Amino acid sequence: MRLLKTVCLLFASGLLLTSCKSEPKKEMAVVDNSSIYIKGTIEAELTSPPFVPAPVGNRTAKKLLIDMEILEKEGTMTDGVQYVYWTFGGSVPGSFIRARVGDEIEFTLSNHPDNKLPHNIDMHAVTGPGGGATSSFVAPGHKKTFSFKALNPGLFVYHCATAPVGMHIANGMYGLILIEPEGGLPKVDKEYYIMQGDFYTKGATDEKGLQAFDMTKAIKEDADYVVFNGKVGALTGDNAITANVGETVRLFVGNGGPNLTSSFHVIGEIFDKVHIEGGSMINENVQTTSIPSGGAAIVEFKVEVPGTFIIVDHAIFRAFNKGALGMLKVTGEENKKLYSGVKQEGIYHPEGGTIQTMPNNDKKKVAVSNVEKPLAKKIADGKQLYMTTCFACHQAEGQGIPNAFPPLAKSDYLNADVKRAVGIVLNGKTGEITVNGNKYNSVMTKQTLSEEEVADVLTYVYNSWGNNKTNVSVNTVKEVKSSH
């Protein structure tokens, strides 16, 4: 009996030890997307929002040719308010691009001859310096071509990255590129393209007329408009996106910024799936998803009852007071088991831009400094400013860009009148000028610099590249400023 017990214990122990042994690890196959074979060449289908190109499906990887034109054009921000947008492909956001993992993408960026400024493109789907920005800087009337391999699936933002980068993005220079996984995305019934952006105007919200961009408001992140697809009402009324009861809807949602994070929400719907930050991880049963500036998300849901579903940034004053509001109109049979309440069309209407505040008697205090720096310090500080604010148009050695932006090196125009130069930096300049015998008709944007910074950067310019070595004083800048 004792022997039998011993045998049983040993047998049980063996089973226990066997069961505790870990299963051999299964090695996951590593896919090298950089080596995916390319077969054939096709031209990309580009679409303006809210529409998207046809799905990639099961097609093989190809050389994908993309030709996109930059256009600076006047458009409508809201009723009675005009704005000059800078666009990729003529729309805000720019044209939607659809590709697949393994595609070799050959991208040609053209800057229309009538444009005033240089531009480039930074594509978050690119593995390479600047996301392509370093290879695509292009002056008006010129075009640049570069290529890249699509390595990672996902929904990616692209935007202009020409200095001042924030200004270019704030004027509408952003869009989305979708890199589908091998085999494509699962089929849905409807797909749409929505992208949020914040805009900053000289006039107050809803102030009529042609409004200019306001850098000071942009730096303070004090947006006058927060909108979907470039304008108030781009997705409302006759412009609303549509679906039928029982259909599945996929929204490709981006946030161009340049500043604000979007709290994306569809009132009366729950997202069945959210591709978090546009990537491969999927969250389910989501009410509101956060989309950072320069980020994206893919949201999917099934529409099961009819009605008008309101699309908002749930930072709710943006929706009802600044324009971040759209509509999904769903038609079909009612289902009282799912929803039996009374519908009221138009309950979610914008409330306008009027600002209501409590009285405030606080007085602002402004500190003023009149200290003049040594010349060497001014030149050093001025050089740093030049490389962050002036470099893109006037280049590292002040040589400018032929037929687009005048040289600052040995410039007869610059050296002839220091106060005129100060005024241009303070107030900007449009219209034709002649520099060293050549005519230029571009735009010098107004620079949001302090009086000391204006003095510094101009002192650096005047003391570089064969110019007349003027030391521009803060008092000179003040004098010019007071005369305007």
Distance CA 209, CA 437 (A): 37
State yes or no: 265 annotated in a binding site: no
Provide the pLDDT for residue 458: 95
CATH fold of 35-180 reads Immunoglobulin-like (2.60.40)
Inter-CA distances, 75 with 91, 213, 331, 389, Å: 10, 13, 31, 27
Q: What is the pLDDT of residue 351?
A: 53
Query: Do the annotations mark residue 159 as ligand-binding?
Result: yes
Residue 173 among known ligand-binding residues? yes
484 is in an annotated binding site: no
pLDDT of residue 135: 95
The set of residues, in sequence order, having a beta carbon less than 8 Å from that of 213 and lying 6+ positions away, is 167, 170, 171, 200, 201, 202
State residue 396's pLDDT score: 81
What are the pLDDT digits (tens) for 132-163?
A: 999 999 999 999 999 999 999 999 999 999 99
> Residue 142, annotated ligand binder?
no
Please give the pLDDT value at position 350: 57
Query: For the chain, where do the domains classified as CATH 1.10.760.10 start and end?
Result: 375-482
Confidence of residue 23 (pLDDT cuts 50, 70, 90): low
Please check the confidence at residue 90 and state whether its pLDDT lies above 70.
yes
Superfamily designation of domain 190-331: Cupredoxins -  blue copper proteins (2.60.40.420)
Decide the pairing of beta strands 262-267 and 307-313.
Answer: antiparallel
Task: Calculate mean pLDDT across residues 257-285.
Answer: 97
Is residue 358's pLDDT more than 90? no
Q: Of 226 and 349, which is predicted with more confidence?
A: 226
Between these two residues, 27 and 8, which has the higher pLDDT value?
27
CA dihedral 210, 215, 221, 224 (to 10 degrees): -10
Give CA separation, 210 vs 166, 171, 199, 201, 235, in Å. 21, 14, 14, 10, 22
pLDDT-derived band at 12, boundaries 50, 70, 90 = very low
344 pLDDT tier (thresholds 50, 70, 90): low
Classify domain 375-482 by CATH number.
1.10.760.10
Q: Which residues contact 259 (CB under 8 A, 6 or more apart)?
A: 198, 218, 221, 223, 293
- Predicted confidence at residue 372, as pLDDT, reads 84
> Is 119 among the annotated ligand-binding positions?
yes
**Which residues lie below 8 Å from residue 35, measured CB to CB, with a gap of 6+?**
none
Tokens 């943006």 correspond to what residue?
A: 318
Residues of the chain with CATH 2.60.40.420: 35-180, 190-331
What is the distance between the alpha carbons of residues 100 and 94, in angstroms, rounded to a whole number? 19
- Higher model confidence: residue 247 or residue 361? 247
97 touches 83 (CB < 8 A): no
**pLDDT tops 60 at residue 475:** yes
Q: What percent of the chain has pLDDT above 70? A: 87
Q: Are 436 and 407 in contact (CB under 8 A)?
A: yes
Mean pLDDT calculated for residue range 229-255 = 97
